[in-house]
Structure 1
Amino acid sequence: MAKILVIEDELSLLDDLLEMLKFASFDVAGAGDGHQGVALVHEWRPDLVLCDIMMPGIDGFEVLRRIRSASNTAHIPFIVLTARTDYTVQRQAMEMGADDFLIKPFSTNELLSAIASRLKRHQQVSSSSEQRLEDIKQKLARMVAHELRTPLISIKTVSDVISRQMHQLDPEEITELLQTITVGSDRLSHRVEQMVYLTQIQAGVLTAETIAKNGVPSPLWEILLAANNLARRFAFNPPPNVTVDMQDRDPGLMLLCNPPAIKHAFAELIANAITFSPPNKTVYLVQWQAEGSIIVSITDQGGGIPESQVAAAMRAFEQINRESQEQQGIGIGLTVASHIIQAHGGTLALRSVVGKGTQVIVNLPTYTAPN
C-alpha cells in the first residue's frame, strides 16, 4: 500500500483529499502547513507528496526545495496542487524538481491518474537503479576478490619463505623480503580503505548533511601535507624520482570537513598523478582562494588522457587505456575521491592533453568561523 502525504492549508479540501485517497486504498497522512509537512516527510517517509503551492509561512516552493535538498528525501515524487493557471507557477515548480502538477479544481480521476503515473515512473526508475547497483556490486565482488587475493598471496608466499629458510637467509635478503610484505600489506590496507569509503558513500553515511553537522574545521595545508604522505603509500610501483612540489602555502585557508575522508580523497588524486608520471618528473600541487572557494590544482607530466575518455575516467572500476597504462588497482580511486569531495560541497574537474599531462582541479567551499 503506497503512502501518500497531502500538504494543504485549506482544511476542508485536505479532509476531502484524504478521504478520497483512503477510498482508493492508499495509506495517507495530512499536514495543514508547510512546517508540519516537511517534518512528516522526514518522519513518515511517504512514497509520494501532494502539496499546495500557496500556503502561509512555508509555501509549496519552499517545501519542495527542502525535500529536494535532503539526500534521503530528494527522490520522493512530488505533485504540485495550485489554483493558479498561469504557466509561470507551473514552470517554476518543474524547474525546482516537481514531478507533476494539478490545477484546482481537479477530478478524482485526474488525481488518481497523476498519482498512478508518478508512482509507476518512480518504481521503474527505482528498479533500474537497483539493477545498476546490483551490477556494480557483482563487479565489485569479482574485483575485490582479485585485488585482495593478490597481496594476500604475496604476503603468504614471502612469509612461508622466511619461515622455511630463516637460517639460510642473510640480513639483506630478510630485509628485502620484509619490504615485500610491507608493500603487500599497504596495498591491502589501501584496498580496504577504498571499499569502506565506497560503502559509506553508497549507504548515505558520508553526505553533505553529516559533514555540516559533524565536520571539523581544519587547515587545508595540514590536510594536503598528510595527503601527500599518504599518497606515497597509495601509489603502487611508482616511477623512480617523481617529486611533489607543494607551492603557495597559505595556513589561513580552512575547510569544514571529515578529516580522514578528505585526506584520503587528496591522497588518491596525488597518488594517481605520481603513478602515471614518467620517471624524474614533478607533480605540481597548487592552492589558492577565489570568491569564497578554495581551489587545489594537481598537475602531472604524464601521457595525458584522450578527450573522448575523460568522462570515463570518473566512472567506478575503470582505468584509462588499461592496456597501455596497466597499473595495479581496482581503478575506483578517482571516483571515490570525487564523491568524497562532492560530499564536502565541492567539485572535481579534469583537464588533460595527450602527451603533456593531466590537471585535476578541486573546488571546495572555504570555512569561515562564526562570529
Structure 2
Amino acid sequence: MPGGHVVAPCLYRCPMHTLPPPSLPASDPQHVLIIDDDPLMREYMAFNLSADGYTVFEASSAREGLDMCQRLSVDVIISDIVMEGADGYEILDALRAKTATATIPLILITASGGQKDVRKAMSRGADDFLHKPFSVDELRSAVQAQLRKRAELKNQAERALLELRASISLAFPHELNTPLNGIIGCAEIIKIDAHEANPAGLIEMADNIIVSAQRLQRLTDRFLAFASTELIALNAAELAKARALRTSGPAELIATIAARIAADYKRAADLTVEKAPGTLAISTDFVSRIAGEIIDNAFKFSKPGTHVRVLMECNPVGYSIRIVDQGRGMSPEQIARIGSYSQFDRKKYAHEGLGLGLVTAQRIADLHGGYLQVESCAGGGCTVTIQLPLVPEPASIVTASR
C-alpha cells in the first residue's frame, strides 16, 4: 500500500480504534484458512485475524481452499456457504471424507440467518456458524472457541495415548511371554525326550502347546480388533460405511455366541438368555465382537455355579443388551478407568488380557451412537448394558376396506 500504511477494510465501517485489543495466540502462530469468493469479506477477516497474531491463508474458491488444506497445516477453516461453483456444504463433505482433514474445525458463514442452514450444516459436521453481518468480536470468539476445542481434543488424545503406552509397556511383555514360554518349553521337552517319551506324554505336551498358541491368538485378535476400530474412527468415510451396515436377527446371533462361550467354560447350566427381535444399525461383526467380549468377561470373572444372564430388549432409544453376572464386580475407580486401556488388579488376579476387549466394545458402541455402561460394586457382581441403534420398523400400511 502507498507509504507502507496498513488500512483496515471498511466493510462494516468499524474504525480500528473501536476494536478491543487483540488476544495473541500463545507460542507458535496458529493457521486460519479463509475460503470466500468475496474479496472484501476475505480482506476484512484476514486483516483482523492477522492483527490477532494468526497466520492467515486465503482462497477465493472451494477448489483452491481444499487444495490448500492438503498442502498446508491448517488449524481452523472459515468458509462462506454460498459461492460460485462448489458451496460450503460441499467443502464440509470433502473435508470430513478424508482422514487428514476430517477433524479440522469448520466455521460456516451464512447471510440467511435461517435455522434450516444451521441444522443442515451441523448434521453434516460443521462446528460453528457466523451470521452476516458479524462483528470482529464474534469472528474472534468463534475462532478462539474452535482452537480451544481442538487443543483440548488433542490433549485428551495425547493423554489416552500415554495411558495406552504405559499399560501396554507394563502388561504386554507378560501377556506375550506367558504363551510363548509355554510353547517353547513344551517344544524343548519334546525335542529332548523325543526318543524316550511315551505317546501320552507327547499328547500332553501337544495339548499345552495348543492352549498357549490359542492364548497368543486371542491376544493378537484383540489387538487387531482394537486397531481396526481406531482406524475406522479416524476415517470419516469408513465410519459412514460402518454405520450403514445392518444386523438382522441379533438375538439369535448373541444367543449362539453366549452358548458357545458357556460351553467353553463348561458352564452351560449357568447361562440364561432372554431374546428380543429387531434389526440393528451396526454390522454383524461388530455385534459379535461386543457380545463376545462382554459375555466372555462375565464367565471369566464369575465362579462356576453362579448365574450369567444375557437379557435383550427393544426400548424407545434403541436395542439394549444386558449381561449380568455374580462375579467379583468392579469398584467405581475401576469402572472410571475402562477408557484407560488398563488391566484391573493384575497382581491379585491372574486372568489373561490387557483390558482391550472392554475398551474396544465401548468404542464400537460409541462410534455407532450407542453406549456401554457398567454398574457394579467390588465383590457384588456386575451388570454391563450395551445400547445399540435400532433400525426403525417401516410404518404399517393400512388399506381401507370398501
The TM-score, its normalising length taken from structure 2, stands at 0.69
CA deviation string 1:129-169 (max 9, x = no partner): 33542452354245333312221121121122223323433
Deviation at 1:294, TM superposition (A): 1.8
1:262-341 matches, within 5 Å, as 262-291=287-316, 293-319=318-344, 321-341=345-365
Distance 1:173 1:290, change over 3 A: same
Distance 1:142 1:203, change over 3 A: farther
Deviation at 1:298, TM superposition (A): 1.0
Deviation at 1:273, TM superposition (A): 0.8
8 Å CA contact 1:6, 1:50 repeated in 2: no
Establish whether residue 4 from structure 1 lines up as the match of residue 64 from structure 2.
no
8 Å CA contact 2:163, 2:341 repeated in 1: no
1:27 alignment partner in structure 2 = 57
Q: Distance in 2 between matches of 1:360 and 1:193?
A: 22
1:349 alignment partner in structure 2 = 373
1:70-149 matches, within 5 Å, as 78-82=127-131, 104-106=134-136, 111=139, 115=143, 118-119=146-147, 122-123=150-151, 125-127=153-155, 129-130=157-158, 132-137=160-165, 139-149=167-177
Q: Distance in 1 between matches of 2:268 and 2:247?
A: 31
Establish whether residue 204 from structure 1 lines up as the match of residue 204 from structure 2.
no
2:249 alignment partner in structure 1 = 219
Q: Give the paired residue count.
A: 332
Q: Distance in 2 between matches of 1:26 and 1:186?
A: 55
Aligned residues with identical type, % of pairs = 20
Q: Distance in 1 between matches of 2:327 and 2:293?
A: 16
CA deviation string 1:251-293 (max 9, x = no partner): x433233222321221111111111112322211122222262
Distance 1:229 1:178, change over 3 A: farther
The TM-score, its normalising length taken from structure 1, stands at 0.74
Distance 1:36 1:230, change over 3 A: farther
8 Å CA contact 2:107, 2:130 repeated in 1: yes
Distance 1:363 1:162, change over 3 A: same
8 Å CA contact 2:362, 2:372 repeated in 1: yes
Establish whether residue 358 from structure 1 lines up as the match of residue 382 from structure 2.
yes
Distance 1:127 1:285, change over 3 A: closer
Report which stretch shifted further, 274-283 or 110-119: 110-119
CA deviation string 1:68-93 (max 9, x = no partner): 5xxxxxxxxx453235xxxxxxxxxx
Deviation at 1:36, TM superposition (A): 2.1
CA RMSD of aligned residues (A): 3.6
Say which one has the larger Rg.
2
Distance 1:183 1:270, change over 3 A: same
Distance 1:301 1:128, change over 3 A: closer
Unaligned runs of 5+ in 1: 69-77, 84-102
Establish whether residue 43 from structure 1 lines up as the match of residue 43 from structure 2.
no
